[in-house]
Amino acid sequence: MKRAAVTGDPVDHSLSPVMHNAAFRELGIDAVYELWPATAAELPDVIQQVRQHDVLGLNVTVPHKPAVFALVDEVRDTARRIGAVNTVIPMNGRLAGDNTDVYGFTRSIEEAADAPRGTGLVLGAGGASAAVLLAMSGMGLDRILLTNRTRSRAENLANSLDIANLHVVDESEIQANLPEVGIVVNATSVGWHDEATPLAADAIASLPVGSIAVDLTYRETTFLRLARERGLHAIDGLGMLIHQGARSFELWTGEKAPVDVMRQAVIAEQRRRAGA
C-alpha cells in the first residue's frame, strides 16, 4: 500500500484525509492518506520519509510551508513566487516542491461565477494572500488592491510578488474603490470564529451587484451572508480546499482527480461533525 500525508498543523488540513481517501477508493488506488503532525525540528525527518518508495507525496501546511524550500531538491515556479510549498512530489529519487493553492483558488472561482472584471480587492496580507493575489493576476483584472492593518506587511508581500497592476492601499482608501470591485477576498481571520465582518454592511452595499465575495474559511460567515443579501456571488473556501487537493492528487498519481467524489466526501464529513 502506498501512502500520502499532510504535515504541519493537523487542524488546518483535517478534511484532507477524507477527500483524498475517497479519491483513492473511487479510482481503486491502493493508498492511504495520513496525518503526520510534526514540529519544526521533526520536519527534516518527515521529508526524508517522503523519499521512501512507498510514499506517493506530501501536503504541507502551516507553519512549515516556507521551511520545506531547503529540504527538497527543486522548487517549482509557483511555489517560489508565493514563498510557500504546500505539495511535495517524489520524482525518481528527487523531491519537487510545488504550490497548488493558486490553482485551487482559480478553479473555485471559475466553477462558481463568471470571470471577474474591474478591480480585485484582497483584505489581509497573511499566508493565503500570496496565492490569491497570484491567482488574481491571471484573471485579467484592471487593478488588484491589497490592504492590511499593518501597511508595511502588505508592501513587503506586494514587492515579493512583483505583479504589475498590484497596489497597496490603506484601509481608509477602500470605500472609494468599492464601486469598481469585481471580486473581494477576505484573507484575514476576521469572522472565522464569530460574527465579525472584515467589511461593514454599508461597505458591502457599495459593491456592484453580481460581483464576487470570497471568504477563505469553510463556513457561512457574516461577510458572506451580507454579500449574498446584496446580490453578490458569495463563495467560501471549501472549493479552494478541494481543488488544491485535487491538483496535489494528480501530481502524485498521474490520474485525473475525481473532484465530485472528493467534494461529496468533504461535505458529508462537515455534516457529520456538525451533528446533522
* Measured distance CA(253)–CA(255) in Å, rounded: 5
Q: Are residues 232 and 123 in the same domain?
A: yes
pLDDT tens digit string along 104-140?
Answer: 999 999 999 999 999 999 999 998 999 999 999 999 9
pLDDT tens digit string along 146-203?
Answer: 999 999 999 999 999 999 999 999 999 999 999 999 999 999 999 988 999 999 999 9
Question: 41 near 7, Cβ under 8 Å?
Answer: no
All cell numbers assigned to 181: 470591485
Give the global pTM.
0.95
Q: Are residues 110 and 227 in the same domain?
A: yes
Which residue range(s) make up the domain with 264?
A: 2-99+244-273
* CATH number of domain containing 28: 3.40.50.10860
Q: Are residues 75 and 142 in the same domain?
A: no
Q: Are residues 229 and 251 in the same domain?
A: no
Dihedral angle, C-alpha 192, 195, 199, 205, nearest 10 °: 130
* Measured distance CA(122)–CA(112) in Å, rounded: 18
Scanning the structure block, which residue is given the C-alpha cell 491567482?
135
**Dihedral sign (CA 71, 72, 73, 78):** negative
pLDDT at 33: 97
Average pLDDT over residues 54-76: 96
Number of H helices and E strands in the chain, helices first, is: 11, 12
- Rounded to 5°, the CA angle 187-7-33 comes to 105
pLDDT tens digit string along 233-260?
Answer: 999 999 999 999 999 999 999 999 999 9
Average pLDDT over residues 55-60: 97
* CATH number of domain containing 115: 3.40.50.720
Q: Which of 13, 64, 65, 230 is catalytic?
A: 65
Q: Are residues 107 and 212 in the same domain?
A: yes
256 noted as active-site residue: no
Of 179, 195, 130, give the one whose Cα is nearest residue 157: 130
Q: Are residues 222 and 258 in the same domain?
A: no
Q: Are residues 138 and 30 in the same domain?
A: no
Q: Are residues 191 and 227 in the same domain?
A: yes
Helical axes 16-27 vs 238-253, angle rounded to 10°: 50
Percent of the chain with pLDDT over 90: 92
Domain count, the chain: 2
Query: Residue 127: which residues within 8 A CB-CB, separation 6 or more?
Result: 62, 65, 84
Q: Are residues 213 and 114 in the same domain?
A: yes
Q: Are residues 136 and 212 in the same domain?
A: yes
Residue 13 has pLDDT above 80, yes or no: no
Q: Are residues 213 and 116 in the same domain?
A: yes
Question: 233 near 117, Cβ under 8 Å?
Answer: no
pLDDT at 12: 59
Q: Are residues 68 and 109 in the same domain?
A: no
